[in-house]
Each structure stands twice: as C-alpha cells, then as structure tokens.
Amino acid sequence: MAQSKSAIPQVVFVLGPPGSGKGTQCAKLVEEFKFTHLSAGELLRGEITKGSKDGALIQKLMDEGKIVPVDITCRLLYNSMQESSSNRFLIDGFPRNKDNVDGWERIVGDKADVKFCLFLDCPKEVCLSRIMSRHEGRTDDTPEKFKLRIDTYFKETVPIIEHFGTINKLRSIPSDRTIEHVYADVKTAIGSEFEIGKFEP
Ligand code: UDP
Ligand code: MG
C-alpha cells in the first residue's frame, strides 16, 4: 500500500565533498525509490535567480565558499517538504555545519524522521577534476572557489559527518568509482531502510 501523506516525512541527508556525486546518485534514487530530491544548493541558487531579498547575501557567501545562515536554508527545505505530496526526501548538501544541525532541530525537529546520513567519500583531487570537467555554468566551479569550498568542507562539514557516525546514523560509501558501482552500494544502504518504488502520491 502507498504510504499516506499524514505519515511523518522520512529523510536521508546526503553529504560528501563538492564533486563527490551527491546530485548524480540522488537522481538515480529518485527514479528507483521514488524519493523527492531537495538540493540545498539548488534551492539557494533559485533564490539568487529570483532576486529574492536573500539573493545577494547567498551569492556573496557562495562565492566565498561559506555556508549560508541556517534560517534561510532550512526554511527553503522545509517549505519544499510541505509543498510536496511525497513523504520520503533526500536532502542533498545539508546539514553542512553545527549551525545547520541546530537550525534543523529548531525548525523541523520532530516534524521529520531523519533515518541516516549517506556519505559519499571521495578524495579531493578526484572531486576537483570532476568539477573542472562539468560545465553547469556555476560561478563557484573554478579551482580558486573549489579551494575555498573544500576548506569549508573539511573544517565544518567533516565534524558533522563524524557526528552522524557517533550516533550510529552514518552510511559511508566510497565514491571514487563509476556511477554504477557507487550506486550498487548506495542502493544497498538505502534499501536497508526503504522499499523500492514504494511511495505513490
Ligand atoms: N550552501 C549553503 N548551505 C547549504 C547548501 C549549500 O550555504 O546547505 C552554499 C555553500 O556556499 C556551498 C554552495 O551553496 O558552497 C554550493 O552548494 P552545493 O551543495 O550546490 O555544492 P556541492 O558542494 O554539492 O558541489
Ligand atoms: Mg550538488
């Protein structure tokens, strides 16, 4: 039977360095497991494009490789969850630091069930070469901006990934392999908690 909208939304956080394959693997999970994919970075870029009141601040912080205040990011995520008829979500690229974790607790907290964090583990040299070979028109996909982003990742996001490990909510997958090899492990990890193709709005 399809799950009803009234059930608490189930969430998987997807983390990993820039270029580790988060978006690519999420797209495959959307197909097979009927997740709704919410990329924090895409939602923030949407605010820049719309020219919303936070757009200028978001653009500045992104270009510095810094993390946007959680009230902005988490509201975008939570509004998208509420607007969706789905009740299983992949939240890609969030939470990136302690401020993000605390803000999620404050803004969403018990209103969602965070199953675990899926961590795509990839050496930074591989990440840089992938980013240099993708051409998505992003202003932060340059070697200089990558350096700022990866520094922020090691300083602020790695401790959050480790935190999920200490509470037994971390599924780590080496992602320095082909998309299909990585996905085979991703599918096993997700399949331990979710049935294939289950959600029907
Ligand atoms: N960002 C942020 N908070 C988030 C997600 C993204 O502040 O929760 C900002 C941050 O400046 C980051 C940029 O958006 O460097 C791009 O994020 P995205 O996840 O799109 O890039 P990725 O790291 O996946 O390449
Ligand atoms: Mg991404």
Domain boundaries of the chain, sorted by first residue: 2-191
Residues 6+ apart with CB under 8 A from 4: 87
pLDDT given for residue 4 in this prediction: 47
Instruction: List the chain pLDDT tens, one digit each, 201 residues.
Output: 444 445 899 999 999 999 999 999 999 999 999 999 999 999 999 999 999 999 999 999 999 999 999 999 999 999 999 999 999 999 999 999 999 999 999 999 999 999 999 999 999 999 999 999 998 999 999 999 999 999 999 999 999 999 999 999 999 999 999 999 999 999 999 999 999 987 665
Number of neighbours of residue 126 by Cβ within 10 angstroms: 16
3-state secondary structure of 118: strand
30 Cα–ligand 2 center, Å: 15
**Mutation test of ligand 1: which of 11, 44, 97, 158 has the most ligand atoms closer than 8 Å to its C-beta?**
44
Distance CA 44, CA 52 (A): 10
Nearest atom in ligand 1 to the alpha carbon of residue 61 is 11
Look up residue 111 and give its DSSP letter.
Answer: G
pLDDT given for residue 7 in this prediction: 81
164 Cα–ligand 2 center, Å: 20
43 lines ligand 1 (CB under 6 A): no
3-state secondary structure of 113: strand
**Mutation test of ligand 1: which of 38, 43, 62 has the most ligand atoms closer than 8 Å to its C-beta?**
62
pLDDT given for residue 3 in this prediction: 47
3-state secondary structure of 64: coil
Q: In what order do the strands lie in the sheet with 88-92?
A: 36-39, 88-92, 10-15, 113-121, 170-174
20 lines ligand 1 (CB under 6 A): no
pLDDT given for residue 5 in this prediction: 47
171 Cα–ligand 1 center, Å: 21
Pairing type for strands 88-92 and 36-39 reads parallel
Q: Which of 140, 139, 135 is nearest to 153 (CA)?
A: 140
CATH architecture assignment, domain 2-191: 3-Layer(aba) Sandwich (3.40)
